[in-house]
Amino acid sequence: MDENAIASGMDENAVVSAAWLADRLDEVRVVDVRDEWEYEGIGHVPGAVNVPFDEFRSGDSGDEGMLPGAGVWERLMREAGIAADDAIVAYDDTHGVFAARFLVTAELYGHRDLHLLDGDYSAWSRERETTTEPPEIEPTTYEVRDPERSPLVGYDEVLSAIDSDDAIVDTREPWEYEEAHVPGAVQLDWRELVDDETRGLKPREELAEILDAHGITPDRRIVLYCNTARRISHTYVVLRHLGYEDVAFYEGSLTEWEARGGPTEAGAENARDGADATGGP
């Protein structure tokens, strides 16, 4: 897709460069999801509003990755001066994983023009002007909408996916996977898709090779999970950016899965054919 076009929704233009953003700084709403002290003390992209990560996740114990609730989301967007039809570019300083969670949350509440800044805040700050001055904000009357399509799946759908051709993907670190994972899941640490030097995505060809090696191909339905739905947010955005059309997002992730007694396996990655399973539906 032509990077020069502002696309609707989260699709092959979901991840954009600092140059893309610089050319459209007056056309988009930029959201900085870092802590307030970083936004104010270290600096931010000119015009960016601050919506810290802790403000848009559930505060319930054991539920830290879940959605904040429609009322909370509306208040945050109104106070940030964001309108329902604004194009949004979000960033953090952690390779995009927290900003991706913001974007997925926005999509689930019906926002339709969403982009992740490739390379996080450093991609902008290395070569472009930053500021410590917050913008003037005019509150909006933001209201959530039904999404055009929802990627959310629940426990029962993931359980059914175990004995299907779906690719169940665990985006946690290898040691977490080895302790317990959904039977048949493949392990793909979300950071494998990120270049440590640039802090952005690896080249598209390299991403395709990594994903193909794990059996995560565009012709399959992809079911993502981690622990609390933060890390899968980044992988979800990347897959949408690469043109994957059928990507399922298990919001409850392993936290809910284990709480409900879902079956798990232990040990290194074994595709669908080897480790001992425990638990049950």
Position 6 pLDDT exceeds 90: no
184 with 267: CB under 8 angstroms? no
pLDDT band at 268 (very low <50, low <70, confident <90, very high): confident
253 with 101: CB under 8 angstroms? no
pLDDT in tens, 164-211: 999 999 999 999 999 999 999 999 999 999 999 999 999 999 999 999
pLDDT in tens, 64-120: 457 899 999 999 999 999 999 999 999 999 999 999 999 999 999 999 999 999 999
Q: Count of CB atoms within 10 A of residue 258's CB?
A: 16
Q: Count of CB atoms within 10 A of residue 19's CB?
A: 14
Supply the pLDDT for residue 66: 74
Q: Count of CB atoms within 10 A of residue 143's CB?
A: 13
Fold of 15-125: Oxidized Rhodanese; domain 1 (3.40.250)
Task: Output the pTM of the full model.
Answer: 0.90
pLDDT band at 12 (very low <50, low <70, confident <90, very high): confident
Supply the pLDDT for residue 67: 86
Q: How far, in Å, are 68, 145, 171, 218, 237 from residue 234 at the CA level?
A: 18, 23, 9, 17, 5
Given CATH 3.20.20.70, say whether it is the number of domain 152-278: no
pLDDT band at 273 (very low <50, low <70, confident <90, very high): very low
Q: Which residue has the tokens 């114990």?
A: 61
Supply the pLDDT for residue 276: 41
Q: Which of 45, 127, 131, 125 is nearest to 88 (CA)?
A: 45
- Kindly list the domain boundaries of the chain, sorted by start residue: 15-125, 152-278
pLDDT in tens, 13-65: 899 999 999 999 999 999 999 999 999 999 999 999 999 998 987 655 444 45
DSSP track, the chain: --TTS--SBSSTTSEE-HHHHHHTTTTSEEEE-S-HHHHHHT-B-TT-EE--GGGGS--STT-TTS---HHHHHHHHHHTT--TT--EEEE-SSTTHHHHHHHHHHHHTT--BEEEETTHHHHHHTTS--BSSPPP-----------SS--EE-HHHHHHHTTSS-EEEE-S-HHHHHH-B-TTPEE--GGGGB-TTTSSBPPHHHHHHHHHHTT--TTS-EEEE-SSSSHHHHHHHHHHHTT---EEEESSHHHHHHHTT--EE-SS--TTS-SPEE---
Q: Which of 3, 8, 10, 1 is nearest to 245 (CA)?
A: 10
Supply the pLDDT for residue 57: 78
Position 269 pLDDT exceeds 80: no
Indicate if 152-278 has the same CATH topology as 15-125.
yes
Dig out the tokens for 18 from the structure. Answer: 């600092």
Position 8 pLDDT exceeds 50: no
